[in-house]
Amino acid sequence: MKITRLALVMVISLAVFCTAQQFEHGPYCGAPDETGVTICWLYDVVCEDVRIEYCEEDHYSSEASFDESIQISIEEEDKPSTYSIRLESLEPGTRYRYRVVATVDGVAHASRVGSFLTEPEAGTAVRFGVLADTQLQHEGTNRLELVGDAMAQDPFDFNFILHGGDLVEGSSSYYWDHWFDSFDDMLLRAPFIPVLGNHEKNHRYYYEFFTLPPGAGKHDERWWAMHYGDVVVVGLDTNVKRADEIREQQEWAREHLSGPEPHKFVIFHHPVFTSDPGSNNFYDAIYHPIFVENEVDIVFNGHSHHYEHITRDGVVYLVVGGGGANPRQTRPDHIQGSDVSIEQHYFYVRVVAGSAGIDVDTVSVAREATPEPILTPEELLDSFYLPVERTLAVATGEEEDEDQADTQSDEGIPPVEEAAVESTESPVAEEADPRAGEADKPAPEPGVNPEATSDEARPPWEYALIVIGVGVMAVAAYFIWRGRKR
């Protein structure tokens, strides 16, 4: 009897193991809209056939019964790859459950059950999560998994999840396998929508693995825009090297941020403003005027491995590089507008954009420590509220800060010159760590001379020239006086 039971347990365990192994990545979903979403997965063997089963959440039971299914024909010569299947004709503003069932050698293997929410109607609150810089932990506790599991277990009802780039450490499949293993639970919670970081290297895997909202650039996905109920989210790529691609993204941002949505968000990898001493760029000149002009609520950036809440000209910039990559320190003299700056934490952000305004919570998952990180359940690094009236106040100048006289006005801002645009290639084009050699040298705030006073302080060599000039004039005056005396 004991042997029979043992054999049964072994058979069940083997079946579970085989099923888990065959779904190498996923399933997960992306590109949600009013009536559709794309289901993605990577299977590690050729399947005889595959079907996607789905139903409205209200019709779903614990027995995993589904009302609808789509059958997918698989050609025998097809090699294992990422499948991306679009579900259409769904009900707007409705949460669905789904799973993928693959048949191999006559045996059906079912994936775990995931969920997604189609675009809600206007006036409905939109709830989403944000993280960035997941990359890789080379030893010890898997920090990526800590963040992913915390998001998966959060009772917050995510409509979608955004990622600010540097998903992986490098472009090889090894890093991607580690990433999917770390975030498999989180990916079942809601549609996942990333932007490119510098570590992805614009590799084909990024475009193969993810289905993004309508966009442009490479594969029409290098930058994108998602119009979702009362929210618009614009995703950009700050790794581009060519001036024409930057100008194209400027126009893309203007077009999609000028729509009727009351809540406007932007996400891209390299920060516009940060107290990270290793991040210097020109995005304040390239994009900030556009965001001010179009009354953007929040811009999410990564690349700097800390949390920072910065306000400039009514636009909130959040540096959210705490998804699992090794934390880095900021400079002690934080830049202008830095309301909150916190280091050494792994975290994610929750956003609720409702009819009255925007609620934001930055949720700490763990604090970096030696030898292992310390879990920080229920700790918030930051929490703030942006009322809808704030947009009107910013537009009429009621919130203008007299202390921000050195920031660029949004009135009469000329287009970015090509020379200035092309100069941005250097800080973002190379894969090497931009912090090399900069650890002990504070980075100047973009567009601001850290040595300057309100009278525009001069460098020492100018003072030296003034002193020499005064001395020469004094000597000349003396000899002229002597000559006249004679």
Give me the amino acid identity at 397: G
pLDDT digits (tens, 9 = 90+) for 55-100: 999 888 766 789 899 998 776 556 667 889 999 999 999 999 999 9
- Of 35, 31, 87, 52, the C-alpha closest to 219 is 31
Query: Strand 307-312 to strand 263-267: parallel, antiparallel, or no bridges (unpaired)?
Result: unpaired
Q: Which pLDDT score is estimated for 17?
A: 39
Beta carbons within 8 Å of 369's beta carbon, 6+ residues apart: none
Bridge partners of 30, per DSSP, are 38
Q: Which pLDDT score is estimated for 277?
A: 85
Higher-scoring residue by pLDDT: 460, 218: 218
Work out the average pLDDT over 346-365.
Answer: 97
- Residue where the block lists tokens 């660029």: 408
Work out the average pLDDT over 434-442.
Answer: 35
pLDDT digits (tens, 9 = 90+) for 171-212: 888 999 999 999 999 999 999 999 999 999 988 999 999 999
Confidence of residue 327 (pLDDT cuts 50, 70, 90): very high
Cis-peptide into 446, omega within 30 deg = no
Inter-residue contact 416 to 286 (CB < 8 Å): yes
Q: Supply the DSSP symbol for 190.
A: S
* Minimum mean pLDDT range among 15-24, 139-148, 360-369: 15-24
State the CATH architecture for 126-420: 4-Layer Sandwich (3.60)
Mapped onto helix, strand or coil, the DSSP state of residue 242 is coil
Q: Which pLDDT score is estimated for 456?
A: 34
- Of 259, 257, 114, the C-alpha closest to 189 is 114
* Minimum mean pLDDT range among 63-77, 176-190, 346-360, 423-437: 423-437
Distance of CA 387 to the CA centre of its chain: 23
pLDDT digits (tens, 9 = 90+) for 274-284: 999 877 678 99
Tell which phi-psi region holds residue 459, choosing left (phi > 0), alpha (psi between -120 and 50) or beta.
beta
Flag whether the pTM goes above 0.85.
no
Q: Hey, what are 131's tokens?
A: 């993280």
Calpha distance 236→227 (Å, rounded): 15
Work out the average pLDDT over 321-328.
Answer: 94
Mapped onto helix, strand or coil, the DSSP state of residue 201 is coil
Q: Is the pLDDT of residue 418 over 50?
A: no
Supply the mean pLDDT for the chain: 81
Calpha distance 118→81 (Å, rounded): 26
- Which sequence spans correspond to the domains of the chain? 18-117, 126-420
pLDDT digits (tens, 9 = 90+) for 456-480: 333 444 444 455 655 656 656 665 5
- Residue where the block lists tokens 């925007």: 358
pLDDT digits (tens, 9 = 90+) for 384-401: 999 987 654 544 444 444
Calpha distance 474→222 (Å, rounded): 65
Sheet holding 160-163, edge to edge: 192-194, 160-163, 126-131, 345-353, 357-367, 374-387
Calpha distance 102→72 (Å, rounded): 10
- Three-state helix/strand/coil letters over 74-127: CCCCCCCCEEEEEECCCCCCCEEEEEEEEEECCEEEECCCEEEECCCCCCCCEE
- Residue where the block lists tokens 């990564």: 302
Calpha distance 156→184 (Å, rounded): 18
Q: Is the pLDDT of residue 13 over 80?
A: no
Calpha distance 219→216 (Å, rounded): 7
- Of 168, 106, 104, 105, the C-alpha closest to 323 is 168
C-alpha triplet 167, 172, 176: angle, nearest 5°: 40
Work out the average pLDDT over 349-373.
Answer: 96
Calpha distance 133→137 (Å, rounded): 11
Work out the average pLDDT over 12-16.
Answer: 40
- Residue where the block lists tokens 């639970």: 185
- Residue where the block lists tokens 């084909």: 204
Inter-residue contact 51 to 72 (CB < 8 Å): yes
Sheet holding 298-301, edge to edge: 215-216, 223-228, 231-235, 263-267, 298-301, 315-320, 307-312, 338-342
Q: Which pLDDT score is estimated for 475?
A: 58
Same fold, 18-117 and 126-420: no
Please count the other Cβ atoms lying within 10 Å of the Cβ belonging to residue 330: 23
Please count the other Cβ atoms lying within 10 Å of the Cβ belonging to residue 139: 6
- Of 442, 208, 183, the C-alpha closest to 335 is 442
Q: Hey, what are 412's tokens?
A: 């009469």
Beta carbons within 8 Å of 137's beta carbon, 6+ residues apart: 143, 144, 324, 326
Q: Does domain 18-117 have CATH number 2.60.40.10?
A: yes
- Of 345, 348, 341, 274, the C-alpha closest to 312 is 274
